[in-house]
Each structure stands twice: as structure tokens, then as C-alpha cells.
Structure 1
Amino acid sequence: MKKFALCIALAMMAVSAGAKEWKTVRIGVDPSYPPFESKAPNGQIVGFAVDLTRELCTRINVKCVWVEQDFDSMIPALKGKKFDAIVSSMTATEKRRQQIDFSDKLFDAGTRMVARAGSPLRPTVQSLKGRRVGVEQGTIQEVYAKTYWEPQGVIVVPYQTQDQVYTDLDSGRLDAALQDEAQASVGFLKTPRGKGFAWAGPALSDPKILGEGTAIGLRKEDTELKAKFNQAIKQMHQDGTFDKLAKPYFDFDIYQNR
């Protein structure tokens, strides 16, 4: 009996030692994607996803520390423990799930193409063959364009940031840009910079590549942190906090399929 009790005690100590006590969570972010994540003139990281994350961290009683990282190297940096979570408009896809885990869905962003107003271009191979389409490196839009369009003669041009895509679109070096629909709507088309541009065709749908919603990227072994975030996300929807935080940024439902 004493030997059995000792085994139980040792097992409980092992579980306790293995569980991490989260006091600080380092958040990986690429602050070049307004209105979700961007940098204010004073250097502060701001945006809808930033507001969401601060609220989540408050609810799980941890301190948020922002760590800037280029989007195309987010997953290697997370796995290398440079930070503990990715909050940078990252869509949960089958391919990414092979390397990391994700929280429950944070929001939907969609994928849609932008071009000059009045342009006949549409998001099809027939329409885009020989044309230059800009995408941000490491995004699902880059994967989509390089999978379906580039082999058929569309010129897919990757950029390190979405801002660089818009710069070349405005200058005429690109014929179109493919990105998150919500980001393009609020962060480009509804700004002075987006004057003269418009949607070029409908939103795209491809669950395998384009995924089914944006979520927090996490290491597979951090199951406790995932559970904490998921509980907090659920509570924010139940008490209306999510809609309250979204209202200043969007005039449409950013969390679809309720």
C-alpha cells in the first residue's frame, strides 16, 4: 500500500513538473497588415487582432509581449521558441497543421483580388495569363496563386510585406493583387491610397489551401495554452466582447458562420 501511494505521489509530481505555469506569453506578429496588425507613428503595435489578443491575455491572466517577425518565417520562429503564439492574420490550413497547432477560429478574412477600377481582370487563369499579380510571401494567397495560376502562365510576384504589394499595384508594376478580403477592404480600398481601385471578381473559395478561418498559431505541445485561449475566445463571444472590439474596425461581420 505504501509503495502504491508513493507511486501515485511521484506521478502527480511528474505531471505538476511537466505543466508550464504561463505568466508571460510572447506573441509573434508582422505589423504590416492593417486593420489587423500595424504600427502606429509612435511605434506602438495596434489593430483589431492586437485588441483581441490583449483581451485574451487579460482573461487568461498572462502578460502579452509582442515580438516582430516577417510573416514568411513565422512558423519556424514559433517552433524555434522565439515566441509562444502567432497572432498575425494566419489562416489555419491543412499544410500548416502538419507543423503547428491552432486555437479555435478568431475571425474570417476571405481571399479576393484587387485591380484598377474598371479593369476586366478576373481571378481566373484565362483572364490573368501573362499578367503580374502581387502577393505577400508566406501567405495562403501566395500558395494559391503559385499552385493554380503560375503553372498556367500567370506571373506571380511575392513581396515581403502587403504594403509593398500595394505600392507596386499603385505604380502600375502590378496588374492585380491577391490578399485577405477584409484587409484589402479596410486597409486599402477604404483609404485614400485605394482610390481608383476596386474588387476584381468574387471572393475565392478553396478550403484545402485557403483554409476556413484565422486562428492563433501554437506549438503542438502547448496544449494547456491552447485550452486557455479557446476558453477565453468562447467567453468573448458569449458576453459580446468580440463584437464590441470589432465594431470600430468593420461594418460587416468579421466572424462568419455563427
Structure 2
Amino acid sequence: MSRKITLIATTLGVLFGLCSAAQAETENLRLGIEAAYPPFAYKTADNHIEGFDYDIGEAICAELKVRCEWTEMEFDGLIPALKVRKIDAAISSVSITPDRLKSVDFTSSYYRLPAKIAVRKDSGIQDIPSDLAGKRIGVQRSTNFDRYATDTFEPKGAQIVRYGNQNEVFLDLLAGRLDATLAGSVAIDTGLLSKPEGKAYKFVGPDYRDANYFGMGAGIAVRKHDPLAERINTALATIRANGKYDEIRKKYFAYDIFGE
């Protein structure tokens, strides 16, 4: 009799453990983010993450009635972390590109902005790409900006210098170790041009929107064939319809960034 009781207790314990694990999984959505790309994600003085991406993620979690569990990492680690199941989704201004769609799925786009080049006003750089020959262009490693600069500007004689995050690019540009940077227009405006130390810099050249490189907007990356994408899309549609998206957007931007 005691063996039967022990067996039943053990079975119940296993089932309880499985139920608890499943419940814990549904209560948390593990989100990866790079917190060095203001105003989309950045660290405050007290070491908390804030920004447009972060707030959108929190709004999605609220709609899904789950708790956001944030993991901060470098941008080039987001998709690898997603593929090995360290995170459930990456919300970090990840552009939806044909190349990335080979390995992960995306939700619908939640914003769309062009890429731009910034240089010192007295640099003499005006005609793109001819004036970039022999110049050092800083980009964030493993981004669409990196790919575009490597494929388009490097063959024209530019030297592409890669960094872990965009803040490092700005620091070297300000220090004179770079001649230009290619990045998202808002990231450059917020992280460089709108700051006192950035007054000597300007945008130059066209808007870059080539979908093969800069994608179809920024989406939330999930694993291939994960139904989570549709759940997040439903949440995104809801916060667009009920005004929450616009409430968040107005905290960071005075203009519409959703795109077409």
C-alpha cells in the first residue's frame, strides 16, 4: 500500500510541477532588447531601460495579459538568442529584411523610418557616394546599415568601421576618428544632432529606403512558425486602435513614425 501511495504522490508532484511550469511560461514573455539606441531603447541614470521599443513591448504584454521579462543584450546577439530559445521575441528596432526572414519570422511593422548619413558640416562630404572614397564610415555591427555600407560604399573606396552599438559610433565621430556614420534618421537626430556637442554635424545625401537592406519597417522578431507572431499582431492592432500606440509615440516623437 505504501508503494502505491508513494507512486501516486510522485505522479501528482510531477503533474503539479508540469502545470506550474506551463503556468509560469504563460505568465512571462521573454523579450530581448539592446538598450543603447535612443530614443527607442536606452538606460536611465538609475540603470532602468526606457524608450519607444520598451514601452511598446510593455503595452503588448499588457494586452496579452502576460509579464514582460526583459533581457538586455547587444544587437547582434538578439537573433541568435531567439533561435536558441533564450528569449521568445526581440523588440529592438529590428528591420524586416529578406535576409532575416530566412531565419526568423516577424510581426507586422510597428514603425518605419529612413536611414541617413551624418558628417561634420566642414567635412566637405557632399556627393554620395563619391565623396566617401578614402573616408571612415562608422556603423553598428551586423545591422542593415552595416550591410548597405559594406555593399555600396566599400566598393567605392570607403573604409567601414564596425561597432557594438551606435553610441560608440557617435563617440568616435565626435572624437574625429570617423568621417561619417550611416544609421536610422531618428537615432542620429536624437543621439547626435540634437545634442550640444552635435551642432557641428549635419545630414548629407538622400534618404535610404531600399527594402532589400532597410526592410519593410521595424518588426518584432520571433522564431520560425511561432504562433506568438499572430498574438502580438493582434495586440499591436489593439493598441493602434485604442490610442495606446499614439500615446507612447507622442512621448518620443512629434510626428508620425508608423509609416504606410
Q: Same fold (TM over 0.5)?
A: yes
Task: State the partner residue of 1:230.
Answer: 233
CA distance in structure 1 between the aligned counterparts of 2:200 and 2:47, rounded to whole angstroms:
30
State the Cα deviation string for residues 91-130 of structure 1 (Å, max 9, x = none).
0100000000000111113200111124432472311011
How much does 1:32 deviate?
A: 0.5
2:132·2:156 contact (CA, 8 Å) conserved in 1?
Answer: no
CA root-mean-square deviation: 1.7
- How high is the TM-score relative to the length of structure 2? 0.87
- 1:153/1:79 Cα in 2 relative to 1: closer, same or farther (>3 Å)? same
Task: State the partner residue of 1:196.
Answer: 200
Matched, 1:84 2:63: no
Kindly report which structure 2 residues correspond to 1:1-258, keeping only aligned pairs within 5 A, or say none. Answer: 22-122=26-126, 124-223=128-227, 225-257=228-260
CA distance in structure 2 between the aligned counterparts of 1:182 and 1:65, rounded to whole angstroms:
27
- How high is the TM-score relative to the length of structure 1? 0.88
Number of residue pairs the alignment of both structures matches:
239
Task: State the partner residue of 1:12.
Answer: none
Q: Which amino acid aligns with 2:92?
A: S
Q: Which amino acid aligns with 1:176?
A: A
Q: Mind listing any 5+ residue stretches in structure 2 that lack a counterpart? A: 1-21
1:109·1:183 contact (CA, 8 Å) conserved in 2?
Answer: no
1:122·1:200 contact (CA, 8 Å) conserved in 2?
Answer: yes
Larger gyration radius, structure 1 or structure 2:
2
Q: Mind listing any 5+ residue stretches in structure 1 that lack a counterpart? A: 1-18
State the Cα deviation string for residues 211-249 of structure 1 (Å, max 9, x = none).
1200101001321x1111101111111122211111121
User: Could you list the runs of 4 or more consecutive aligned residues of structure 1 that deviate by over 6 angstroms after TM superposition?
Assistant: none
1:137·1:161 contact (CA, 8 Å) conserved in 2?
Answer: yes
CA distance in structure 2 between the aligned counterparts of 1:31 and 1:76, rounded to whole angstroms:
17
How much does 1:151 deviate?
A: 2.2
Counting aligned pairs with the same residue, the percent is 35
How much does 1:192 deviate?
A: 2.4
2:41·2:52 contact (CA, 8 Å) conserved in 1?
Answer: yes
SS at match of 1:217: strand
How much does 1:157 deviate?
A: 0.5
State the Cα deviation string for residues 167-223 of structure 1 (Å, max 9, x = none).
010011101011011111223211223221111122112111111200101001321
CA distance in structure 1 between the aligned counterparts of 2:52 and 2:195, rounded to whole angstroms:
17
How much does 1:150 deviate?
A: 0.9
